[in-house]
Structure 1
Amino acid sequence: MPALIVSLASMRLTGLQVNKWSVSCWLSAETRLVNTPDGVDHDIRVTSGGRILPDPHVVTVRLLCRNRRDIPIGQFTANKPMEIPIGNAIVKILDVSGDEIAYTTSDDGTALLIGPDLIRRYQNTTWRLLTEGRPAPLTTVDKLTDVTVRLEDGDQVSARRRTQRSIALSTVAVLLTALGVALALRGGAGPDGDSASSYFGGTVQIGVTENLPGWSAPGANAQAGGFDNALIDHLSRPGGILDDKTVIRTRLTLAERTSALSEGRADIVIGVYSITPERSRVVDMAGPYYVDQRVLVGNGDKLTSDWRRTDGSPEIGLCQSSATKTGYGEPEYERLRAKVKGSGGRLTVTTSEDLTSCLQRFSQGDEIQAIMTDWSIIRSAFHGKLIDRNGAVVTDQTLFSPEDTTIESYGVAIRSNHPNVCKALQDELRSFLDTRWDTAFELNLAGAIRPPDAPTDYVGRHKPTSIPATCAT
């Protein structure tokens, strides 16, 4: 199958100003796992979840944006995702690497759905899909407003770029060698650059989350400025890794955390940032310093125990950050959708670039009755009754069972390929756990999430028992 590349371009005119965006998305690297001639019997079987796949393939889909400006979420038509048709059933998403963006698969499993989400400048995201059957040629990309679609041969494009890159690197290497300069090709950190003093310099840009109560701002019953801010204060203490540094806090949405590091807008990110294999491929992550659970909960003041709206409307609005990877096909979502449907309602998902907007609409107004986020985040921001999909009141001791939730381990992120800096941060986090964690928890989070009958020194499942010797890289 020819590997096809799709270039998406959009233009908008305002007076004499021209705003132009372009995105490349291609389907390539199609590999047949059982590579035998058709009609020839063999004893090789590929299975997934107990299902035998007669004709399994691995397909790579890549989204690449070279713009110097973000592509607004408003470019998604009617707030619908961009559809990348694969043609055959997507059995499983094997791997996702690169920059974060919202994604899922279509209900019939034949298309990758990207967004709706902000497509950031220099966005670079790659999916590897396991499919049953050979993918169909890529012919259309739906759900982007005013988009021109151009098809190219993705393999030829990749080969051309490899040749150009090889020539450029060879030329640079010759010039640098002639000047007696050593060239480090990965990550930009040589032996002298991988130390805390050289990495952080005199001024340190720390990416912190948007105004999240209990984390980057005072929360319910909190006595201090946020748990993450307490960690930053610990790193800045006399003798700490940021001692004598000028610390500048930069507010980020959850979706901006990875790109802020790669674009140089932040040197370090501390902000309810879960350690995942996908993120660890593009940034170095020390930790964990906090353990939580992702939950899907309803506002018990807006819903009855059987998930019917108290005002009688059948529409149930669910809000989540664009950084949250869930949606069609995810267990939490599908179970709730079945519950709402069984009660005669309809579940509508809204994706927001900033979680603060979700929290506000969940607390007030008629648009949002449910939210998908981490337990400690919602509990610190919302004082009312929270219910699970069965209508039971949720507390820190009665969270969903493990099959319904994702354990979230929060880490501290820096740019990739700095193992020595990351190790130094690991040591700092161990010090934080030993000396300040309990106090930071009590002052910022415990008043909101501690169950009514829990002891005053309750930390629940949230304090890590230990920190690994090495970082997630």
Structure 2
Amino acid sequence: MRVGRISSILGGTAALAFALTACGTADVGGGGEGGGDGGEGGGDTITIGVKYDQPGLGLLEGDTPVGFDVDVATYIAGELGYSPEQINWEEAASANRESFLQQGTVDMVIATYSITDERRQVVDFAGPYYVAQQDILVAADNTDIEGPEDLSGQVLCSASGSRSANNIVDDMGIDAELREAGNYSECLELLGNGTVDAVTTDNTILAGFAAQNPDTYRMVNNPFGEEKYGVGLPAGSTERCEEVNAAITQMWEEGAATEALENAFGATDFAFEEEVPALEDCA
């Protein structure tokens, strides 16, 4: 497994330099005007759910979301026959990703959406397009927390709809007090004012926040677990899943995925994969 280490300074504008097959900028829009073409691509528009509050991954800057997930989404849409101007962006918070897919609000979700057996009961997944690990973010001057074992008795924040905190409390059996927030931006506010002692989620998400505020927050850089980022699709999307998997493979083989990672993250000592993830079979 090859691993690269990111050393560039975080900037949403840098992510826009990503050399995509479908280059350009898409306007924010959304709300049910998806391609609806049964997997053939090239319809009028495609609606994609991304995060709007995660630096380096999906962050709204002006009228346009930018970041690694947005670049991945733009690349995949291009391979499906959609130009950037045909993409409608929809904010997809952790708690509403399944409902957006079930209700037809979006055609796909690319929003640090981990593939799990539980989620597979209600939606389909293509990918993974990236395999992240879980980590911990603390205040910059906090030297007491260096790993999950140090969270016992501490107040731990995670976003609603995410299982990150439960992985520590339930699966690892660590006695931390859980605090749920609407999203990770709220967790960061709680960490900044001392309401919580730590925030836990995927290292990609935490790296973006740490790079944006290096004097305020520190990523522990002691990764554990594994989170396979998938492209969420409505149930029964076998043909579209296969098309998306082909696009993901090409994105990595061309080096476009690595370029997007390098553009997206700052100097947080974050180690990132440089090989195409092992894709799972489409149902």
- The answer to whether the aligner puts 1:361 opposite 2:190 as a matched pair is yes
- Whichever residue aligns with residue 229 of structure 1, its letter is V
* SS state at 1:196 partner: coil
Cross-structure match for 1:260? 100
Task: Evaluate the alpha carbon distance shift between residue 194 and residue 374 of structure 1 in structure 2; reply closer, same or farther with a 3 A threshold.
Answer: same
1:284 to 106, 124, 139: 124
Query: Which segments of 5 or more consecutive residues in structure 2 lack a partner in the other structure?
Result: 1-35, 148-152
CA distances 1:260-318 after superposition (whole Å, capped 9, x unpaired): 100111111011011111112211111111111123443342464699xxxxxxx8421
Q: Is the 8 A contact 1:254 1:355 kept in 2?
A: no
Task: Evaluate the alpha carbon distance shift between residue 413 and residue 360 of structure 1 in structure 2; reply closer, same or farther with a 3 A threshold.
Answer: same
Cross-structure match for 2:237? 418
Cross-structure match for 2:23? none
CA distance in 2, matches of 1:415, 1:438: 28
- Whichever residue aligns with residue 102 of structure 2, its letter is S
* SS state at 2:115 partner: coil
Aligned residues: 233
Matches within 5 A, 1:210-221: 210-217=52-59
- The answer to whether the aligner puts 1:437 opposite 2:257 as a matched pair is yes
1:413 offset after TM fit, Å?
1.1
- The answer to whether the aligner puts 1:348 opposite 2:177 as a matched pair is yes
CA distance in 2, matches of 1:470, 1:305: 39
Cross-structure match for 1:178? none
Cross-structure match for 1:251? 91
* SS state at 1:265 partner: coil
Q: Is the 8 A contact 1:380 1:448 kept in 2?
A: no
CA distance in 1, matches of 2:58, 2:180: 22
Cross-structure match for 1:319? 157
- Whichever residue aligns with residue 443 of structure 1, its letter is N
Q: Is the 8 A contact 2:187 2:199 kept in 1?
A: yes
* SS state at 2:46 partner: strand
1:210 offset after TM fit, Å?
3.0
1:379 to 207, 224, 227: 207
1:195 to 39, 43, 48: 39
CA distance in 2, matches of 1:209, 1:226: 9
**Structure with a larger share of its residues in strand:** 1
1:349 offset after TM fit, Å?
1.5
1:385 offset after TM fit, Å?
5.6
Task: Evaluate the alpha carbon distance shift between residue 316 and residue 243 of structure 1 in structure 2; reply closer, same or farther with a 3 A threshold.
Answer: same
Q: Is the 8 A contact 2:207 2:268 kept in 1?
A: yes
TM-score normalised by length of structure 1:
0.45
Task: Evaluate the alpha carbon distance shift between residue 348 and residue 203 of structure 1 in structure 2; reply closer, same or farther with a 3 A threshold.
Answer: same
CA distance in 2, matches of 1:423, 1:449: 35
CA distances 1:193-242 after superposition (whole Å, capped 9, x unpaired): 74233xx73221111113110001289xxxx93101111221344xx214
CA distance in 1, matches of 2:111, 2:170: 25
1:378 offset after TM fit, Å?
0.9
Q: Percent identity?
A: 24
**Structure with a larger share of its residues in helix:** 2
Matches within 5 A, 1:61-72: none
CA distance in 1, matches of 2:40, 2:103: 19
- The answer to whether the aligner puts 1:231 opposite 2:60 as a matched pair is no
Matches within 5 A, 1:128-147: none
Task: Evaluate the alpha carbon distance shift between residue 351 and residue 434 of structure 1 in structure 2; reply closer, same or farther with a 3 A threshold.
Answer: same
